[in-house]
Structure 1
Amino acid sequence: MNVNIRHQVSPYLVFFIIYSSQVGVGILSFQRTITMKAGHDAWIGVLAAGCLVQVFIWVMYTLLEKVDGDIIDVHTAAFGKIFGKFLSLFIMIYYALASISVLLAFIEIIQVWMFPVLPTWLISTLIMVLVYYCISGGFRVVAGVSFHSFIYPQILIIILYYYPLKVAHFSNLLPVMNHSLMDMLDAVKNSMYTIAGTETLLMFYPFIRNPDKSKKFAHLGVLFTTLLYTLSCIVSLTYYSEEQLKTTIWPELSITKIIKFSYLERFEYLYISMYLIIVTALIALLLWSSSRGFKKIFNMKQKYALLITSLVSVVICQFSNETVKEMINTSVTQMNLYIFYIYIPLLLIYFTLFKRGNQRG
């Protein structure tokens, strides 16, 4: 697949795109989920999940190199045009559902922590207008937003972790490896969903200039986010007791309450506002992938596909309830596991055995 060089990004930007794809609202609450069974050993599950994602990055690059295109080109080469597009449709639906899941989670945080009476439709519309504006500028703009979502928030994250570490009880991490294998696997599974997002590489691969040179940046991006999630988990485990952590919905957000300055008392307002940059970058990347896929599958202009998915997102957010949210989150979790960590490796094996596509490198 040939993409004009003017629309491509430099290899080093893949580091920031991968970071943006993995760091979302999940980092604010995943600590509670993974400690339900693994307890104080949950941080080990995060590291293990990060290692599995590194393997998945290698699988995706190896698969995409065979056709020098995106996942739709892979499916077309493997199964033909009609059935290939049919299979690709499921992945595009996943991207769209994942973006809605992120949007719903962030809206809930805004309504609980900042503006309880602000209507859902207004928040979702404002965010989606911003996302639409980013995507309409092309993939280079999406990559630029991903870059900024890394630079500015890191300063606040460093401040956030400094304060709880001053009063941390590292004895909370002992004894190490005190939980069963099944409990650890449960922590790995929950961590895999939290640090998901690298699968967008399946769509933006053709937009990387010299993709071979971007491999190391992709792996470094996963390494950085894995260490960030591990640090976040350790900070929560050493700040809260295990029982406290199991009952705190947003552990990382709750930590912000201890940060106070003479000129700023409610640090969490600044922190949540900063997260708008991160959430916008993540949703933009997911919806760009989805709309780009719908464009190729249905032979339509991407701006129309983007407009439709944006409107659907706003409507779903407006009429969603706890049942709908749970259904969407469950669907995204299951699709992420079965499509990307089971189906994609099997697809690579299929290509390798039958020598389909462009076997370069």
Structure 2
Amino acid sequence: MNKITYKELFSAMLAFELGSAVLFVLGASAKQDAWISILLATVAALPLVYLYVTLYKMHDGNLPQILEVTFGKAFGKVLSVIYAIYFLYIAARVTRDFAELNIGTIYKQAPVSAFSIAILVVVMYYLVFDISVMIKSSHVLLPTFIIMAFFQFIGVFSVNCVTIKKIFPILGNGLMPVVKAAFPNILTFPYGELITFMMVFPEFKFNTNKLTKYCFALVVTTGLWLALNTVEIFSVLGVAEATRANFPFYELALIMKFGTFRNLDPFYAIVTVIGGVIKITVFTYAAIKTIQTIFNLKEYKFLLIPVGTIVYALSILIADSYPLHILIGLKLTTLYIHVPLQIIIPLIALILSFIRNPKTSKK
């Protein structure tokens, strides 16, 4: 596997984090204070990411290996199977997200299956090589994200109705709605999804001190980016329209203009394609590597077609409609899947690691 730099890893993780998150208004239940909920969850995400890096530092292994050491071989394998299913399920959810986003906005006559297949073909092509290719590609593509964000920032001022007053009054509904919007929803999406990189870190033998600094920088950058994105959307669309719209980022792209150039659908499409492919690739890779570790396989590439087929089938079957898909994602998935697998089990693993005092790798 090719060696990657910390900057390349940072780029991949940032593109992964922004992925689908930038397209929505996170913490919409907090209304005009959603950006505060994002910043609050960002602060809470720092110890969560530190938890992931610490587990990697103590065991110098990937997630299934850590689970077998801390929970015992038998129960550890059971948990590993659960995580493999989890990664497949979230890969399918993200695939469905981007399929629905495209057919709900730009390509309204296309079937969901067509976009799911198109995205997964690109994902499988990346994984035919190895994850380092995707990471290096992310580093090359990240400037596109930055350029698009710059044009978005400039573009909002082209809208006649833009005003920062739309996010006031701050904390007009009190502090509790802000806290409830941040925990667990924003903490688990997008920050808790970084648990997938526990399947990536061991492949490149990172220095954990430097890795911690880059991960902290990543969390802060993501939080500021998403908070600013939310403020921009609210400042243009207003709180009521932004929280009601299925695709507020797309609505913003339609309203913005640069002189006589008004059709900014390509701007929207570029962000969705880049973010979607990177995010689905990482989740699919995490699922495949988990399966490889469980069965102690020397090679994983023969799993690409079966796993890709499963992700495709799940992306179609997980919900009959987009509203149901979103409802399941925001309510059931967050509380009953994300919280146990992203927070509770890793925390228990860390406690057991300290109790059993395994040999800590010195890096």
TM over 0.5: yes
| Residue number in structure 2 paired with 1:13 | 8
Name 2:44's counterpart in structure 1: 52
- Find the aligned partners of 1:192 and 1:81 in 2 and give their Cα distance: 30
Distance 2:157 2:258 in 1: 17
Question: Which residue among 115, 123, 131 is the counterpart of 1:131?
Answer: 123
Structure 2 residue runs of 5 or longer lacking an equivalent are none
CA contact (8 A) 1:9 1:207 kept: no
Aligned to 1:333: 334
Q: Residue 84 of structure 2 aligns to which amino acid in structure 1? A: M
Relative to structure 1, the CA distance from residue 23 to residue 354 in structure 2 (aligned partners, 3 Å threshold; closer, same or farther) is same
- Contact kept, 8 Å, 1:104 with 1:325, in 2: the verdict is no
Please list the CA deviations of residues 155-182 of structure 1 after superposition, one character each: whole Å capped at 9, or x if unmatched: 1121112222455322223332233333
Q: Determine the structure 1 residue equivalent to 2:69.
A: 77
Instruction: Specify the code of the residue in structure 2 equivalent to 1:304.
Output: F
Which of 17, 20, 27 is residue 25 of structure 1 equivalent to? 20
1:116-137 superposed Cα distances (whole Å, 9 cap, x missing partner): 2222222211211110010111
The answer to whether the Cα contact below 8 Å between 2:19 and 2:279 also exists between their aligned partners in 1 is yes
1:101 CA displacement: 0.9
Alignment of 1:347-358 (within 5 A): 347-358=349-360
* Greater displacement, 84-93 / 295-304: 295-304
Asked if 1 retains the 8 angstrom alpha-carbon contact of 2:113 and 2:316, the reply is yes
CA distance in 2 between counterparts of 1:359 and 1:144 reads 27
**Native 8 Å contact 1:24 1:282 kept in 2:** yes
Q: Deviations over 1:65-119 (max 9, x none)?
A: 1111111121121133232121122222221111111111111111121222222
Counterpart in the other structure of 2:28: 35
SS of residue matched to 1:178: coil
1:3 counterpart residue number: none
Indicate how the Cα distance of structure 1 residues 277 and 246 shifts in structure 2: closer, same or farther if over 3 A, else same: closer
For 1:314, give the aligned amino acid.
Y
Distance 1:206 1:241 in 2: 45
Bigger CA drift: 266-275 or 229-238?
Answer: 266-275
TM-score normalised by the chain length of structure 2: 0.89
Contact 2:89–2:314 (8 Å) recurs in 1: no
- The one-letter amino acid paired with 1:14 is L
Shift of 1:328: 5.8
AA partner of residue 301 (structure 2): K
Alignment of 1:43-192 (within 5 A): 43-165=35-157, 168-189=162-183, 190-192=185-187
Q: Which amino acid aligns with 1:134?
A: Y
Q: Are the structure 2 counterparts of residues 318 and 75 from structure 1 closer, same or farther at C-alpha, using a change threshold of 3 Å?
A: closer
Give the count of matched residue pairs: 353
Query: Partner of 1:200 in structure 2?
Result: 196
Aligned AA (1:156): M
Other structure's SS at 2:250 match = helix
Q: For the structure 1 residues 295 and 330, does the alpha-carbon distance in structure 2 shift closer, same or farther, using more than 3 Å as the test?
A: farther
CA distance in 1, matches of 2:174, 2:300: 48
Of stretches 181-190 and 275-284 in structure 1, the one that deviates more from structure 2 is: 181-190
The amino acid of 2:182's aligned partner reads: V
The residue aligned with 1:257 is: 254
Give the whole-Å Cα distance in 1 for the aligned partners of 2:171 and 2:260.
43
Amino acid at match of 1:313: V
> Partner letter of residue 120 of structure 1?
V
In terms of mean alpha carbon deviation, does 18-27 or 130-139 score higher? 18-27
For 1:255 and 1:292, the matched residues in 2 are separated by 38
Q: Does the CA contact (< 8 Å) of 1:28 and 1:252 recur in 2?
A: yes
What's the CA shift for 1:258? Answer: 2.1
Identity %: 19
Letter in 2 for 1:80: G
Deviation at residue 209 of structure 1 after TM alignment: 4.1
Code of the residue aligned with 2:114 in structure 1: it is L
Work out the CA distance in 2 between the residues paired with 1:245 and 1:30: 7
Q: Is the 8 A contact 1:43 1:230 kept in 2?
A: yes
Query: Within 1, Cα distance between the matches of 2:328 and 2:120?
Result: 22
Q: Could you say what the CA RMSD is over the residues aligned between the two structures, in angstroms?
A: 2.2
Report the Cα distance in structure 2 between the residues aligned to 1:77 and 1:357, rounded to whole angstroms: 11
* Greater mean alpha carbon deviation, residues 318-327 or residues 116-125: 318-327
Q: CA deviation at 1:262?
A: 6.5
3-state SS of paired residue (2:61): coil
Give the unaligned 5+ runs of structure 1: 1-5
How far off is 1:271 after superposition?
1.9
Contact 2:25 2:243 (8 Å CA) reproduced: no
- The secondary structure found in structure 1 opposite 2:45 is helix
Cα pair distance change 1:325/1:297, threshold 3 Å = farther
Which of 234, 239, 259 does residue 237 from structure 1 map onto?
Answer: 234
